Structure 1
Amino acid sequence: MKNALIKSRIIFAILVLPACAASTHPEPKFTRDCPDCPELAYILSENAENTAFFIARYEVTWKDYSKATSEFGCRKPRNSLNKEIAQTQNLADDIPLTGVTPDDFDCYLRYISKKAGHRYRLPTPQEWRRAAAGVRSHASESDTPPSGPADPRESVARGWVTLVGQRPPSSLGLYDIEGNAGEATSASRPGMKIICEKFGDAYCREVEVLGVEKYSLPKTYKDSVFFVQGVPDIHFGYRLVRD
């Protein structure tokens, strides 16, 4: 009887304990709200102050945004001289979207929210850093630009961005958190007063951008860089979040 009891306890330990241990480190949870919606990863709550949320596994691409320009009338991307980029519909590929101001990107947020039946938004800096936890730095790795100087998109022609998803995902299943386009957050601050007064309202606020270690501006990809909010910039793009 004693031997049978010991044997049963050993079997219990083998079968049950590994399952209990695994439950403390759940696999990333992915979902999609609609066929045209981004695939989302579920970011667990850390404590009572940090609620759970969903974040897109990939940055918004030109393919994603081109649908909003044709179906919803969103403003087309522009270059650093604030001129509309030609042939936007022919550039519907998997390059991260750049050249769209946060104000203009609100149109895309409304577009995808209507399709999904959920409210999409930009991540807060705190949410972005939580989602970036455990990301392996890729700054030393080189990318092969998908096009050359003939590409009308400055970010592509200069080799600042490349196709999304070329590198391994993070432990949470996210791609390109570091090493591709920078990513705008929902945070902003007042711009420089002298610049605002000289150039107008478009220069009066600055958006907080993360994930831009590739451009050697901050110390790490989790450091903040601020860009003028009302002017299209070719250095940063977007990643979606929903609750």
Structure 2
Amino acid sequence: LGSIWVFKDPLKAPNEEFCTVGVQTEAGVVDTCWVSDRGILVASDSGAVELWEVSESEALMMNKFCKYEHDDIVTKVSVLSGKTHAVSGSLDCRFVPLASLFVITVHTSRMCSSTPLKHSISLLSEIGVSCCSPTAVTWHPQKEDIIAFGTEDGIVGIKNLQNETDSIQTSKVHTRAVSGLEFSSHSTPLLASVSEDCTVAVVDMDLSKVFQDQSHKDFVRSVSWSPLNSAVISTAGWDHQVLHHTISKETALNAAED
């Protein structure tokens, strides 16, 4: 079993007393991301990608669909800024790009799922390492053909999906599995990553490290940039902590001006 909790004030997480709405799920929840004001895309350890919606009254959460695209635990889901494309990563060594993952008709609140974009993509042969199951994936915020991914051996990479001849840019950012990735909203984005090595890292688009933190005492499982302050990231770990990290003003300013 798993659960999804929604907090209006992120500083109050993970204290259940301040949870606005929550739900228990039939399988474990590995990752989530917002797809609308009330819609949440969920990565499940059952191999499914699910869509949940918070009711208008914020009294309950409703399951809108469940799609089994993977043969193993789904470790990451990410949605493009236009909300029409998504991508999921799994321990089955594949990430699956999805086109028109959901269609929301405002007047009827009808939602329907669609099929994957072309085919799933295997990273095993392209990266050229023997053990590289993708464990995290996220879209570039401005370019829908570029994704970033992390692997079980600590590699962070960037891949152009439209140009299969381009080599994958990679860097050994962590010493253990990458468990979460997210681009910032800067004009030239920074990429935050978290890992089972208990560290938080931020790299630029050349994958050069500009920030690292080791405050967590156990696996760090998720990361999110603040929508209110582009220099702040929040992370959650198995140490039951939700921590907030401030990237230097100089680093954030350089990213915004590039």
Query: Structure 1-normalised TM-score?
Result: 0.27
Determine which structure has more spread, i.e. the larger CA radius of gyration: 1
More helix by share: 1
- Larger RCO: 1 or 2 (CA < 8 Å, sep 6+): 1
Query: Structure 2-normalised TM-score?
Result: 0.26
